[in-house]
Homo-oligomer: A and B are copies of this chain.
Amino acid sequence: MSRPAGAQSLEDSGFVKEIPPKAAQFSEWYTAVVLKAELADYSPVRGCIVVRPYGYTIWELMQQGLDRRFKATGHVNAYFPLFIPQGFLAREAEHVEGFAPEVAWVTRGGGEELAEPLAVRPTSETIIGHMYARWIKSYRDLPVLINQWGNVVRWEKATRPFLRTMEFLWQEGHTAHRTAEEAEAEARQMLEVYRDFVETDLAIPVLAGRKPESEKFPGAVRSYTIEALMPDGQALQSGTSHDLGQNFARAFGIKFLDSDNAEKHVYTTSWGVSWRVLGGLIMVHGDDRGLVVPPRVAPFQAVIVPILSGKDRDAVLAGARALAGQLTEAGVRVRLDDRTEVTPGYKFNDWEMRGVPLRLELGPRDLAQRQVVLVPRVGGAKRSTPLDGIAQAVSDALAAMGGEMFDRAKAYLDAHIVSAATVDELVEAVAQRRGFVRVHACDADACEQRLRQASGASPRVVVDEPADGPCLACGVPATHVVYYARAY
């Protein structure tokens, strides 16, 4: 059993004593936060992680935030097989080229060698395309708006918890439409759903736009992306949406009889978000004390730490329980930490490290004065707050913290978008980790290759801005504005 590249030894992980400083040792900081906050752990299978309950609860809340938005836009969930026949992957030429090298193959089952190996799905366009060809007969069957929650496998060399793992959990939407316009509108709509989810629920600002041709999904006509900026100046692709045109419809024969009695191919889209954005959440919001979880996806939005001492002990504990009940009633996810084997100070550090947005301290004097000490994890000062109306105060503090977290990240993003007017400026900005580098470019592949090779960065996202200057590489009038960055 080999270990993932860069992993600590199995014996060490989970026993992180200290979290290294975020700025100085970013990579070690990330791993320490993941392990120490018990978000995930390494597994005995190369490249696969175990998502522990605290991390999984964040993922469940993320799923709920996305699923609610999918259903509000008319989508329904379904489930397609984990295994894909070898021949299916080969049907769409670009698709097989993109995914075949990363596939895990089942070659034996039930004690026998299989006549045709089965791919463990790296993505499901092919098998879903096959089923759509059977289900769709008439224009009245359209659109088909299906999403799937599940696991996929892509054989990766280097792996990092959440950011790049061999198996990962995600959702993949697959839709079929009557016209090219509808498919394009769907792909753009889902990009907007992703942007809203990541910015609102995860408090992570993103650049939204189109992928350059060279970075498209294998088999797509157009790919859209939201890109977030990490504190080390690298971009994190956080969600993609693809207009697949009729490429998969042709490869799998997905046809319908239109109202004009003509048989036509449908237009399809696909779009996905994985647990990778949980990695983004850790990197963007965490600090030297550990994790900071945005309130909307925090397993515990508030932790109550009773200060238990002497004769008032029982009264304080009863008060803390009543407070917990009251907050739960009001829909706040609250945890009462009534452990007796550790001190309040230990608890403060423990929950700060785990990134719980609010701490509520309740001692004998607070109880006597009908108040609680409210301590936000970030932004906002420690303050005494009356127990009357505490649910509203907690709710307000959570909303304020979510806004504050987004604003901080947005200020960072805005401060880390620089323009380059020459290749040298691009190279220098990338070398100095200044973030996204705004570049004017033409459509020539040779120009993109030159910019990539000179800078070591890749074109992340083409934005909807007028191209009013010359191509950085060749000097002809640019056709688009594109942001370059190194990327995860």
Contact = CB atoms under 8 A, between A and B. Distances in A.
Nearest to A148: B56
Given A104-B106, A106-B106, A107-B105, A56 B44 contact: no
A118 to B, nearest CB: 7
A382 interface: no
Nearest to A165: B81
Given A10-B134, A44-B127, A79 B50 contact: yes
Q: Chain A binding site: helix, strand, loop or mixed by DSSP?
A: mixed
Contacts of A108: 104-105, 107, 117
- Identify which of A51, A78, A116, A130 gathers the most chain B CB atoms within 10 Å of its CB: A78
A43 B117 CA distance: 16
Contacts of A56: 76-79
A169 interface: yes
B78 A45 contact: no
Contacts of A465: none
A14 interface: yes
A41 B107 contact: no
Interface residues on A, range: 35 or more
Contact of A81 (B48, B85, B131, B134): B48
B101 A110 contact: yes
Nearest to A150: B151
Given A56-B76, A82-B120, A105-B108, 10 more contacts: A43-B131, A45-B81, A51-B79, A53-B78, A60-B77, A103-B109, A104-B110, A106-B120, A107-B107, A151-B151
24 contacts: A41-B134, A41-B135, A43-B131, A44-B85, A44-B88, A45-B81, A45-B84, A50-B78, A53-B76, A53-B77, A57-B76, A79-B169, A82-B120, A83-B104, A101-B111, A102-B110, A104-B106, A105-B106, A105-B108, A105-B109, A107-B107, A110-B156, A150-B151, A151-B151
